[in-house]
Amino acid sequence: MPQAKTTPELSRRHILVGGLALCALLTLSACETPVAVQNLPDITFAHLPAIAMDVASIEIENRFSAPLAAPHVEHRLPVAPAVALAQWAKDRLKPVGETGKLKLIIEDARVTETLLTRDKSLKGNFTKQQSHRYDFAINAALVLSDANGAERGTASTATSRSITLREDLSLNDWEKTLFNATDRLLGDFNTEMEANLRRHLVNWVR
């Protein structure tokens, strides 16, 4: 059976089609630039002086269980408030006594997300609007007990914050903004809890 002849015109057509396909592939690859993963620091209080307490041990009890479902978003944050609270106790409280125990009890460490109503008018369509609100709330107590387990004193603190974010925020900016909000929330907690500790547990501060 005779083979079909390849004409110069047909060869040029194959080259053109192949070139267009290669250009399309290169363009698609260029559009798929991966988002750079940012490395955010931990939230610590190691830069602050430790508070010496006349107890033999410091314990942490987290009674807050993150639902891992909307509207809760604690599990999506770079540093969850409960983790930061535990770090606060490790950095700021130092046992220097021979008996007794000081326990940080975390009652609440929530962060919830609420969709905001947006302006759907012509003006609103040309405006970058606030699309989400995030509400932070932490509630924790320091409970001091003696060698027999009897409670001798308590200092508690509850703090909260709320922020709103724009609809065009990138994932990296979202993470950084919520990280900063968590950091400020823990800063508030640190200030208030230290004041309450020195007020209500002053007899055990060394």
Placement of tokens 């940012």 in the chain: 38
Smallest Cα–Cα separation from 137: which of 191, 72, 75?
A: 72
User: How many residues in total does the chain contain?
Assistant: 206
Gyration radius of the chain's alpha carbons: 29
Q: How far apart are CA 88 and CA 51, in angstroms?
A: 11
Domains of the chain: 43-204 (3.30.160)
φ, ψ of residue 94 in degrees (nearest 5): -130, 115
One digit per residue, the tens of pLDDT, for the chain of length 206 reads 444 444 444 344 444 344 444 434 444 444 444 556 688 999 999 999 999 999 999 999 999 999 999 999 999 999 999 999 999 999 999 999 999 999 999 999 999 999 998 767 766 666 778 999 999 999 999 999 999 999 999 999 999 999 999 989 999 999 999 999 999 999 999 999 999 999 999 999 99
**Closest Cα to residue 56, out of 149, 195, 194, 193?**
149
Nearest CA-CA partner of 178 in 188, 168, 169: 169
pTM reported for the whole predicted model: 0.79
Which residue, 92, 47, 46, 63, is CA-closest to 193?
92
